[in-house]
Amino acid sequence: MQTLKGVRHFVTSGIVKQAVSELVVPVPWGEMRGRIWGPDHGRPVLCLHGWADNCGTFNTLIPLLPKECRYVAVDLAGHGLSSHRPNGVFYSFPEYVADVCRVIDALQWTRFSIIGHSMGGNIAGMFSALYPEMVDAVVLLDSYGFLPTDPKEIPKVIRQGLDEMVQFEKKKEEKKGKVYTYEKAVERLLAANPTLSEQSVHILLERGLAQVEGGVAFSRDIRVNLKNIVRITLEQSLELQSKIQACILIVLAEEGFEKIFAEGEQKRYIPALLQVYRDLNHTVVTVPGDHHVHLNSPEIVAPFVCDFLQSKVLSQPLSPADSQTAKLGHLLKTELVSTE
């Protein structure tokens, strides 16, 4: 299976120039896409973006992180350049975790680290709990690893999600998505997500738009906007959290998720999750900025992530099996493309 396609150079802020590979992993309904930075033999790090974003969310941060790592940033199903899920299929965390399994199987990774932003951090938390032997370190960027729901709210949420899917399937015109000029698409994303800088919007739109007749359309599946029907309680979250064996760094933004997105009951659960991390000697830091501070101002976040990867990952010796896995990248074929 050919997993890598197209090596090119990526420029961040007009200063850092770095070779980047395009990732293509076949899945039963199409393909998972993404980008790869770093040497073939580097310590593997999987990067998972947030809801409605794409792997471009790491474009400004990864060039500031240790060069000894091999960073694979994926477009989750229904996002960026990755294929949408089949008709009638919901988007939920267990399905995203299964997608991670597919990607790491294609990469032949047996042990790796994860950097996850927002929803990507919740996917990282669930994966690390279910497959603790595979994850050595986790970085949660403005994420808590889990997002519990009040048990009393779960029936209502599930019904809402089911109803939304049925109604969506009846409206064929919604499936096509709206057509924009590029300028209008920029305005639309800025209005929908005020935590993004204009530069960050342009970065995300590199993989977030598709050329269509009459202009451009957002490439993400409209169904990612539907209510997530798979919820877990605080008790279930704490049980999963207890299964994680990896070292964890939580980088929270002062004006981030808790203030912007967390619903009433969720705000009550966040301190409990953070206290468990602290009790287990994981690191929790708060930085100035908003939910996308890692993309808007990566220089604020990078020092914490660098120190964490150096001390918890790069300072540890590789086992023979892990060393062999890390070197498998040179067996994959790549094709050089123009940087112009």
Average pLDDT (234-239) is 97
- Please check whether residue 113 lies inside any domain of the structure: yes
- Please check whether residue 212 lies inside any domain of the structure: no
- Please check whether residue 182 lies inside any domain of the structure: no
Q: Domain of 61?
A: 4-149+232-331
- Please check whether residue 156 lies inside any domain of the structure: no
- Please check whether residue 216 lies inside any domain of the structure: no
Helices 234-243 and 264-279: crossing angle in degrees, nearest 10, is 30
- Give the percent of the chain with pLDDT over 70: 87
Q: Which of 118, 128, 219, 297 is catalytic?
A: 118
pLDDT-derived band at 327 (thresholds 50, 70, 90) equals: very low
Average pLDDT (65-74) is 97
Place of tokens 């294609």: 106
> Which CATH number belongs to the domain containing residue 11 in this structure?
3.40.50.1820
pLDDT-derived band at 173 (thresholds 50, 70, 90) equals: low
- Please check whether residue 176 lies inside any domain of the structure: no
92 catalytic residue (yes or no): no
The tally of domains found in the chain comes to 1
- CB 204 within 8 Å of CB 149: no
Q: Give φ, ψ of 182 to 5 degrees.
A: -60, -40
Global pTM reads 0.90
Q: In this predicted model, which residue has the larger pLDDT, 69 or 334?
A: 69
- Please check whether residue 219 lies inside any domain of the structure: no
- Please check whether residue 133 lies inside any domain of the structure: yes
Residue at 256: amino acid letter: G
